[in-house]
Amino acid sequence: MKDGPNIANIAFLIGERARAEILTALLAGEALTASELAMIVKLSKQTVSAHLAKLVDGRLITLEAQGRHRYFRLANADVAHLLEALAGVAVRAGQLRARASPREPLLRRARVCYDHLAGEFGVAAFDTLLARGHLEDGTLPRVTVSGVAWFSGLGIDIDELQRQKRPLCRTCLDWSVRRRHLAGALGAALLKKCFAAGWAQRVPKSRIVTFSRQGEKAFAAHFLRA
């Protein structure tokens, strides 16, 4: 007797190399055109368009039309969490690229995972928020009373975030550090704070997040253990 959802079709869609590269490119959280994705994965636009159609049909990505332009993005945060978890399994299983990108050390340090901060910075921040008692660990971490006040001091309104349809807090298993980082509405708000405060910026056409010297000090003061 076969129980539970049929995961074979989803595994098939992700398992094809070109589609895996497309999904990884969209993990940055940005909407991209077929032409942009073709440049990233180094395939013809016609080939990429065929793969995109299959991913849309499989509900792993969505299509947004704006005038003559057609943009593709991950369907939701669940797809992003799945891809991040698969990347962690790949690392553990030794499935590494034959030639690592020169940008990989920067990706491991700090990067965007859909709409929140991942890498060493993201993991360290989550650990510290737990250690300081601002978050209470669990299947879905919970913001404590002290956490509500602390985040308010950063200009982050927990009540407002809770009105969103998505979970306030959830975690991703970080593929590069092999520990969890903070996701959900709060994780997204924290990354927005880093950008809005001028502490960090995204490298164009990349998932890499770079912190200025002053930004790194500010981030450490707020999110890292003393």
Q: Residue 30 belongs to what domain range?
A: 8-75
> Could you read off the pLDDT of 35-91 as tens digits, one per residue?
999 998 889 999 999 999 999 999 999 999 888 889 999 998 889 888 888 887 777
DSSP at 35: H
Residues 113 and 55 in one domain: no
Of 78, 80, 74, 87, the C-alpha closest to 37 is 74
> Could you read off the pLDDT of 136-163 as tens digits, one per residue?
998 889 999 999 999 999 999 999 999 9
15 located within any domain: yes
Number of domains in the chain: 2
- Residue 108: exposed, middle, or buried by beta-carbon count in 10 A (0-12, 13-18, 19+)? middle
68 located within any domain: yes
Identify the pLDDT of residue 13: 93
> Could you read off the pLDDT of 175-187 as tens digits, one per residue?
888 889 999 999 9
CATH of residue 50's domain is 1.10.10.10
pLDDT surpasses 70 at 226:
no
129 located within any domain: yes
Distance (Å, rounded) from C-alpha 102 to C-alpha 206? 13
85 located within any domain: no
Residues 110 and 63 in one domain: no
Residues 106 and 215 in one domain: yes
| pTM for this prediction | 0.77
Distance (Å, rounded) from C-alpha 108 to C-alpha 121? 9
Q: Are 51 and 62 in contact (CB under 8 A)?
A: no
